[in-house]
Structure 1
């Protein structure tokens, strides 16, 4: 029963994350303003949960790990600003597919950064994702090269990879505490950027208030809580493979709700991206588990 509840929470979190672009499409604000308010409300919600659960604070004991979380949080804030800008310029589905090239970048550089062994599955997965990105973005490339929207999608993936790498280095601070400080750091980073570029005044249209609350409290706060409270009780391979339900749900929901239909070549690209990334992650996880068991 406990394991089943973890599956349910994890899948619910992924579906919430996958609907981020849908909810954001109803918010009449700039991308950095949306991310600013999202990280603010999400951080406050996670802080409330953290205090209610009387969680232990580890940041004073592990300052280096806290530094990694700060860097990871800054990268996450930047990544989200690029992602939400890509949503408006190239659509939710395509932006989400570009964003989820981030884990593949991490797999590719892990042999250098984390001294993991390179595996043929990672190389094949990367090639599949690369071909998929070319297919998905072929209409934009053929119509004038690299658009700003496509650039934002690529940069969201790069910063997502930076976020994952530094978060992975923070081995002593995990779970809800990790999520709380990372999200709070993202808020500070985005707040500084917004303050420099446009000042403190943000005018929120009345019709955008409800979707902002949903995005911040439900999609971000509740989503992060469900995610981090479930992954510890699930097999590594399950977390790795089921994680790609998020971009898949984003593509499906964008088609159903927003009418963003992919062309035939783009659908093939979506399959190559999600399939290639999941394939590389699955076999990488299996190799790491076998190597860990052999060493033990």
Structure 2
């Protein structure tokens, strides 16, 4: 559990099951996000206080502000993503959403001085091709729509969240996850009250799935996620992040009995192999001329 890669992958698997959990809660997309962030925030706050945590980030005001911006971006991203789920379905929404990592990789050399190696570019290319195989038909069928706009908007906010979270290098671990979720909740709460007023009280009909969604998928998932990306490069976060839509596809097939086409299977293989290659392959350092190997 101390390995950041393990934490990150496990959090992605939890996030990959979000579609299944959301299907059990017959509320509007923003209400689902409202309740999951509220429960997740309360749980992480209680855990933080019981563990004797101290709010150290306030001594690094610039990094603290970065963390708050990152959390707000996360909340907005979830609003757009869940709206896209309801409009165009999980597969097409996931394809649009995961344009976000491409944006992060594209700007990481300018913001984080990370070099785009040939292996990373090749792995990213395989991942993107795999995503097209998995979801491209749905994208071509639906074209540009409100749902697709929401999906692409969630991708932009995903990129904003990653960038500002990386900049908030002095805000780490449980404290970071707490700021992210609390700020996400505040953002979603403001949107919910603006959209419809007080949230629906019919939440009691879906109490168990909402509690699981808030405590496990959101609180535990976010804690592991933000604890992991503190120790990973922006490129690694972006490329391995494609395991989330892949796991969502697999979970949908297993639990919702959705059929995988041959093209989707090929896409899944490309995603896994591309992500693995980009992480495991390392270029050998060049030896200067005249030096022995």
Same fold (TM over 0.5): yes
What is the aligned partner in structure 1 of residue 70 from structure 2? 72
| 1:1-296 mapped onto 2 (5 Å cutoff) | 12-228=10-226, 244-277=242-275, 279-280=277-278
Using the TM superposition, name which of 65-74 and 127-136 deviates more. 127-136
Q: Deviations over 1:108-138 (max 9, x none)?
A: 2101222323322343344334434443343
Does the CA-based 8 Å contact 2:134-2:265 persist in structure 1? Answer: yes
CA distance in 2: counterparts of 1:140 and 1:237, whole angstroms: 27
* Structure 1 residue 37: Cα displacement: 1.0
CA distance in 1: counterparts of 2:236 and 2:143, whole angstroms: 38
**TM-score scaled by length of structure 2:** 0.82
* Structure 1 residue 250: Cα displacement: 1.3
User: SS of the residue aligned with 2:208?
Assistant: helix
* Structure 1 residue 79: Cα displacement: 0.9
CA distance in 2: counterparts of 1:211 and 1:36, whole angstroms: 14
What is the aligned partner in structure 2 of residue 294 from structure 1? none
Does the CA-based 8 Å contact 2:96-2:151 persist in structure 1? Answer: yes
Does the CA-based 8 Å contact 2:236-2:279 persist in structure 1? Answer: no
User: SS of the residue aligned with 2:21?
Assistant: helix
Q: Deviations over 1:89-108 (max 9, x none)?
A: 33334434543342232112
CA distance in 2: counterparts of 1:261 and 1:9, whole angstroms: 29
Shift of the 138–245 alpha-carbon distance from structure 1 to 2, 3 Å rule, reads closer
Q: How many residues align?
A: 284
CA distance in 2: counterparts of 1:21 and 1:180, whole angstroms: 23
User: SS of the residue aligned with 1:60?
Assistant: helix
User: SS of the residue aligned with 1:204?
Assistant: helix
* Structure 1 residue 280: Cα displacement: 4.1
CA distance in 1: counterparts of 2:9 and 2:136, whole angstroms: 31
**TM-score scaled by length of structure 1:** 0.81
CA distance in 2: counterparts of 1:136 and 1:72, whole angstroms: 29
Shift of the 131–174 alpha-carbon distance from structure 1 to 2, 3 Å rule, reads same
User: SS of the residue aligned with 1:116?
Assistant: coil
User: SS of the residue aligned with 1:186?
Assistant: helix
What is the aligned partner in structure 1 of residue 291 from structure 2? none
Does the CA-based 8 Å contact 2:169-2:230 persist in structure 1? Answer: no
Does the CA-based 8 Å contact 1:140-1:147 persist in structure 2? Answer: no
User: SS of the residue aligned with 2:80?
Assistant: helix
* Structure 1 residue 82: Cα displacement: 1.6
Does the CA-based 8 Å contact 1:22-1:254 persist in structure 2? Answer: yes
CA distance in 1: counterparts of 2:54 and 2:104, whole angstroms: 30
Q: Deviations over 1:150-184 (max 9, x none)?
A: 33333222211110010000011111101101110
What stretches of structure 2 of length at least 5 have no aligned partner? 286-293
Quote the RMSD (CA, aligned, Å).
Answer: 3.2
